[in-house]
Structure 1
């Protein structure tokens, strides 16, 4: 245990130093701030989207009842408030952001989760799940995947991002600490020379992004213009204060681009530690929003100058205390198989590969002679498992963990859901809590929002034979070095609690067609395309 703690500290220190020490490029920074000035002179109203990691509608409603969220309450009173925006699946930030920025589910954008297995590369991809997994997976591959491959090759290059679409329309855009940022402008992420040897990373990483790209201290275009909290004790700029102060600078210096995306991560950390009932983090977010609105001169002026949109990305489930056995050690459920150890190479002796995303996991059968349906049998015994799903002969099968009740479905059937997607569904509708009306050929969703498309999106997001596994509320999955959140909060799964997030829109009366994360891109483009029609 002492060695594990020591290893944990070493890994954290290396990652902090890597993020903290970056070579500045003043010319690039100057270019960023020069080129983001709005291209639309006649319609200066901007669109600012703030994505608050793990913001939940229950926290907003509770805070307003207690009169502790004046900024959010103002925006709701002067705008639109939706409590049930459907997130992407798995409910992990990197996949959700990919859906938001591309307007598609993972079957199109190809970013399946925070961790997943590439059959083509025979490699477990990990964008940074936790220090122990990073240590065993290797710092070099994790950083390379997160800083180079995620936006450079993993995100579908044939699928345009909102930044690329806006550039094609002659409009400017910016991203502050966004995980998915591919655009049309050239940027440089700088890595200190001393890291090159041990990590094999290049000193400078050339990336494509929006007109303005800020990634904490890795890429700080505000250097020399404003002193932002991006040091060792400020998570190297990957924090709310960095993001909000950067936005305030753009507002007060009249440099807002036509569209600005802002990622606020701090609340997620608090909820993982304290659970979804944590309220202080939401109050802190509200204070930061209040200061942002005041940067316009007043909250009223803010809504005259900009459309301000606030959204959560995923909810949180309360993880049970240790005494109630909340952690499902999924690697122990395959006693008759050889399961890949973190950091090992996939060879002929490996039968199973695990990619755990908190309350969801991908389980891969890496040998063709092991049917995926047989792999699923190893998971049926544990009553803490909620759903097991897989593809087979053109169908997607979903099975309840403890009961073994089963349903199968595929697209292009005679049932139409609320999003005008058509499906063919057979067997037990109870498995996915579907409400089928045979008379009018319709189906509605219950406990699992947009579950047919979201499960289909995950199961078709990358190559290979694999299962999707989710847990019942209160439990989370773990491999040998996975981070756990006992007594705190977790997400990743597909139930309502983790899937439905708030959406607040102020500064326009135009409404989104559908309340899904995957539909926000089209809505944003519509706002930006027809700004003369936005109601002040």
Structure 2
């Protein structure tokens, strides 16, 4: 989904030049020097890979590569993702080892209080066109990595570089490193004033980004408009295969495979086994770059993982789609096709099954907005913060739940909290001052971080399974599935690991950063 803005610009350029006017930006591996490590780490991110469909596909016997890796390694079924469960925030957490209160990428869509505009990294074409392609392009191509992703947090690429080790990023949207390079965009984009002509970006030593930064000449068949200009599984697989075959595999490589996500959105969380089978064929291609699959496992540490789950969205649009703008129609709500006006009272930032509700009018309190929305049983909970606490309310609960860090209650991750009120709102079990998470994994830390991820007076609305939020031109998935929520269906992902017995300190996305460093630096 976030690749939409890149594809939109390239499509426009391709149409003007009758498809043939856009040429790939080829790069050479010849001048790239690497520091050899005993076992390079290869991490493959399969967007929206979930445990139950993975196991079902294995039973069918049609995913030999994934099955081989599972049999030869370990499968961890319930790793907790970041929040909101949207790719850019998840990837930022993975690469920095922090939640959004530190890395500062709040979601796919969020409101920048200082610039007084809605930030969108490419949610749906209708919303992109309304906000303006140029704004969305600049946010996606440049600001995401070089303005919004905090420099107070170092990415794994930056940390490895400081230790004299190289890394690679293949088709990942979040990639910041120390290598300075120019990313050339189609000239027609700057001519039409929809995108800059080029950008100076900071990347890992090895950087592949669709046809905008391509290594393998064999990928020309995968970088056209039908192949989303290189932002597809075949392209990612061929780029990684090319790096392996040229003996240029650095200490750490992350490669992104986006296609499964689209199928899950369309078909639902359980009816996409065929898409997992297609993904497996690309994994077979990668493993075949070695003399044998056994040699592939002996030569590298392999990590294959999802980034978020997805929850079902009901077929009946009148029930399954939560329209906050109608529920809050007594207020003046910002229209996404216009600049924010002085009399706008509310800005809505939709992230599929989660939404930020920004209150611009100082005369409106979070409590009065929450009271209106609390009547809707489709919303799992509503959360906001005051000077000291996070406050949480939900339909069917008369009382609220409040919490703050550093208290007398401890959760399974060793994090301590002070809590008051009704913990059942977040389905917490508390025994002898020990907090157990159930429906919402790592709920307190993830929710606390989201409410401290950026400035502003805002509420978080989180939908129950079966429902998602709909705004002006936002993507909707009736009869399919969506993510974004704190709920376990959106939050739990599988990870397959071969070549090491080391484990993260906890099975959470936020803990994988240090684990990657332990696997690469301390060999």
Provide the rounded CA distance (Å) in 1 between the counterparts of 2:121 and 2:61: 38
Task: Give CA deviations for 1:367-386 in whole Å, capped at 9, x if unaligned.
Answer: 22211222212211211111
Provide the rounded CA distance (Å) in 1 between the counterparts of 2:115 and 2:156: 29
Q: What does residue 6 of structure 1 align with?
A: none
The answer on whether the counterparts of 2:40 and 2:251 sit within 8 Å (CA) in structure 1 is yes
Q: Indicate how the Cα distance of structure 1 residues 413 and 199 shifts in structure 2: closer, same or farther if over 3 A, else same.
A: same
The answer as to 2:363 corresponding to 1:369 is yes
Match of 1:217, SS state, is coil
Q: CA deviation at 1:402?
A: 4.2
The answer as to 2:466 corresponding to 1:470 is no
Task: Give CA deviations for 1:285-309 in whole Å, capped at 9, x if unaligned.
Answer: 1121122112112111111100000
Match of 1:199, SS state, is coil
Q: What does residue 5 of structure 1 align with?
A: none
Q: How does 1:74-473 map to 2 (within 5 A)?
A: 74-199=68-193, 201-222=195-216, 224=217, 227=220, 229-277=222-270, 278-322=272-316, 325-438=319-432, 441-473=433-465
Q: CA deviation at 1:12?
A: 7.3
Q: What does residue 11 of structure 2 align with?
A: 16
The answer on whether the counterparts of 1:69 and 1:286 sit within 8 Å (CA) in structure 2 is yes
Of residues 274-283 and 354-363 in structure 1, the stretch that sits farther from structure 2 once superposed is: 274-283
Task: Give CA deviations for 1:367-408 in whole Å, capped at 9, x if unaligned.
Answer: 222112222122112111111000012100111134344210
Compute the RMSD of aligned alpha carbons.
1.9
Q: What does residue 38 of structure 1 align with?
A: 34
Task: Give CA deviations for 1:327-351 in whole Å, capped at 9, x if unaligned.
Answer: 1111101122100011221122100
Which structure 1 residue ranges, 5 or more long, are not aligned? 1-8, 532-536
Of residues 397-406 and 371-380 in structure 1, the stretch that sits farther from structure 2 once superposed is: 397-406
Provide the rounded CA distance (Å) in 1 between the counterparts of 2:234 and 2:195: 29
Q: 2:490 aligns with which of 493, 498, 522?
A: 498
Provide the rounded CA distance (Å) in 2 between the counterparts of 1:482 and 1:417: 36
Q: What does residue 519 of structure 1 align with?
A: 511
Task: Give CA deviations for 1:480-508 in whole Å, capped at 9, x if unaligned.
Answer: 22111010110000111110000111111
Q: What does residue 520 of structure 2 align with?
A: 528
Provide the rounded CA distance (Å) in 2 between the counterparts of 1:25 and 1:282: 30
Q: CA deviation at 1:140?
A: 0.7
Provide the rounded CA distance (Å) in 1 between the counterparts of 2:204 and 2:5: 34
Task: Give CA deviations for 1:26-52 in whole Å, capped at 9, x if unaligned.
Answer: 5xx22x5532x4303xx4321100010
The answer on whether the counterparts of 1:395 and 1:408 sit within 8 Å (CA) in structure 2 is yes
Q: Indicate how the Cα distance of structure 1 residues 10 and 433 shifts in structure 2: closer, same or farther if over 3 A, else same.
A: closer
Match of 1:301, SS state, is helix
Match of 2:42, SS state, is strand
Of residues 311-320 and 322-331 in structure 1, the stretch that sits farther from structure 2 once superposed is: 322-331
Which structure 2 residue ranges, 5 or more long, are not aligned? none
Q: Indicate how the Cα distance of structure 1 residues 13 and 141 shifts in structure 2: closer, same or farther if over 3 A, else same.
A: closer
TM-score by length of 2: 0.95
Q: What does residue 3 of structure 1 align with?
A: none
Provide the rounded CA distance (Å) in 1 between the counterparts of 2:371 and 2:513: 39
The answer on whether the counterparts of 1:23 and 1:190 sit within 8 Å (CA) in structure 2 is no
Of residues 12-21 and 192-201 in structure 1, the stretch that sits farther from structure 2 once superposed is: 12-21
Provide the rounded CA distance (Å) in 2 between the counterparts of 1:72 and 1:432: 35
Provide the rounded CA distance (Å) in 2 between the counterparts of 1:450 and 1:14: 38
Provide the rounded CA distance (Å) in 2 between the counterparts of 1:479 and 1:200: 24
The answer on whether the counterparts of 1:163 and 1:183 sit within 8 Å (CA) in structure 2 is yes
Q: Indicate how the Cα distance of structure 1 residues 419 and 13 shifts in structure 2: closer, same or farther if over 3 A, else same.
A: closer
Provide the rounded CA distance (Å) in 1 between the counterparts of 2:484 and 2:140: 19
Provide the rounded CA distance (Å) in 1 between the counterparts of 2:394 and 2:204: 43
Provide the rounded CA distance (Å) in 1 between the counterparts of 2:424 and 2:138: 43
